[in-house]
Amino acid sequence: MITPLYKEFQAKPSKPEGAHTGLWFDRFFNQYATDWTLDSSAKDSCAKKAWIKKVVGLTGDTKKLETFNHRQIALVAQLKGASQRYTSDWHFVTGMGNSHPVENGFSWHPTLAVPFLTGASVKGLVRAWVEMNDEGLSEELKAARLKSWFGTEKKGDVAEQAGDFVFFDALPDAPPQLACDIMTPHMGKWYSDGDQARLSDSTTIPADWHEPVPVPFLVVKKTSLVFHIAPRKKDPQAELEQVFYALNQALEWLGAGAKTAAGYGYMSEDTRYSEDLKTKLAEQQARQEKEQALKAKLADLSPLAQDYFRQADEGDWQNNKDKFLQAGLIEGWLDTLEENLDATILADMIQLLDLHIRGLLQDPDKVKGKPGKEKPVYKERQRKIAHRINDLR
């Protein structure tokens, strides 16, 4: 069996370069005293705080996050969904209920080592907003909306159908900044055992004789998360905007993650992001369509003609006169054609020449000027080219 790491790592308790921060945070806690207790004094030496301090700062790999985000956008665009970015107004924390020696855990993405919101959290968040805000909807309409968007009218119902929308995990697209925050609950056991409080028991009563207990926990200081939502079938496309509106409202008024009552987890939409994304996706689509059109056009042609038309497409010869007339280019193709005539290429060259230098092919040696002082209209190179083409015809 292989050796577990704990012992050796107790001596060098800092996170290795490039490590998965979540793995380090979850598995390598090494702040126990010899009797397995935790020093919880309020000072900086406090074991929990010391551990959290080891993971603060940026987490995640810029390039990997970007690539992953691009892949998600491609997937969501294919499903005719949309992606939007939201920036946290202040701190944000998720997964505090996960078990961990410092008591407050954290939600880490398994491969990207960044805090994130699972698709289930996003769905729950949007649902919470729809349930709690009527937006002028009648009870009936609201129930119908809950059923169609999320699959059930009431939480806890057995679903007869799946919801119409797919809520994807929301992830940062750049490394987020982690920090250590401290909460100081004052009322001791009131929070946990308050429902059984008796006047005779002073510990479970909320009163001013309790002492504040500082509890350090890991938070996200600043981050942007990209949310993706797609319709499950093609029809509810029109409602997608309303779902995003609900998400906007939920992030602005309810907050995501934990401790929203203390101001954590509120986010606002980065409106430019979706605009930019739309332009980018449209450009990408145009490129793809062009590429496909070209492929279809080339399918039946000879390999030589395929080469020619690819070159023509790259140089945009149809619209870019200079590129088409650049030194040696036409001559090169003419050399090839004189050895091995290809009608499609020749026809295209004739069409382009006619387009860019009108009249050249009809009368290459045309002259102008007073009788006796005539000068050729076209330059020598142009005339040569025209003669060669006309010979090939």
Contacts with another protein, residue ranges (CB under 8 A): 1-6, 15-16, 18-20, 22-24, 27-28, 60-61, 64, 68, 71-72, 75, 78-79, 97-98, 107, 110-113, 118-120, 122-124, 128, 131-132, 150-151, 155-156, 162-163, 165-169, 228, 232-233
CB of 98 to another protein, least distance (A): 6
CB-based contact 84:274 (threshold 8 Å): yes
Is 253 or 332 the residue whose CB approaches another protein more closely?
253
Question: What is the three-class DSSP state of 170?
Answer: strand
Q: Which residue has the tokens 């930019």?
A: 276
CB of 106 to another protein, least distance (A): 12
Of 171, 201, 177, nearest in space to 189 by CA: 201
Rounded Cα–Cα distance for residues 375 and 370 (Å): 9
Question: What is the three-class DSSP state of 381?
Answer: helix
Is 79 or 205 the residue whose CB approaches another protein more closely?
79
CB of 218 to another protein, least distance (A): 17
Is 171 or 361 the residue whose CB approaches another protein more closely?
171
CB of 375 to another protein, least distance (A): 58
CB of 60 to another protein, least distance (A): 8
The sign of the dihedral angle between the CA atoms of 166, 167, 168, 174 is positive
Is 86 or 333 the residue whose CB approaches another protein more closely?
86
Distances (CA, A) of 192 to 70, 104, 203, 205: 44, 15, 11, 11
CB-based contact 5:13 (threshold 8 Å): no
Question: What is the three-class DSSP state of 82?
Answer: strand
Rounded Cα–Cα distance for residues 78 and 281 (Å): 11
Question: What is the three-class DSSP state of 222?
Answer: strand
Output the six-digit token pair for 131.
Answer: 């349930």
CB of 121 to another protein, least distance (A): 9
- 376-383 own/partner pairs: CB under 8 Å, 24+ apart: 382/357
Is 169 or 173 the residue whose CB approaches another protein more closely?
169
Is 60 or 216 the residue whose CB approaches another protein more closely?
60
Is 19 or 197 the residue whose CB approaches another protein more closely?
19
Is 169 or 181 the residue whose CB approaches another protein more closely?
169
Question: 341 - beta bridge partners?
Answer: none
CB of 213 to another protein, least distance (A): 21
The letter for the amino acid at 215 is V
CB of 220 to another protein, least distance (A): 17
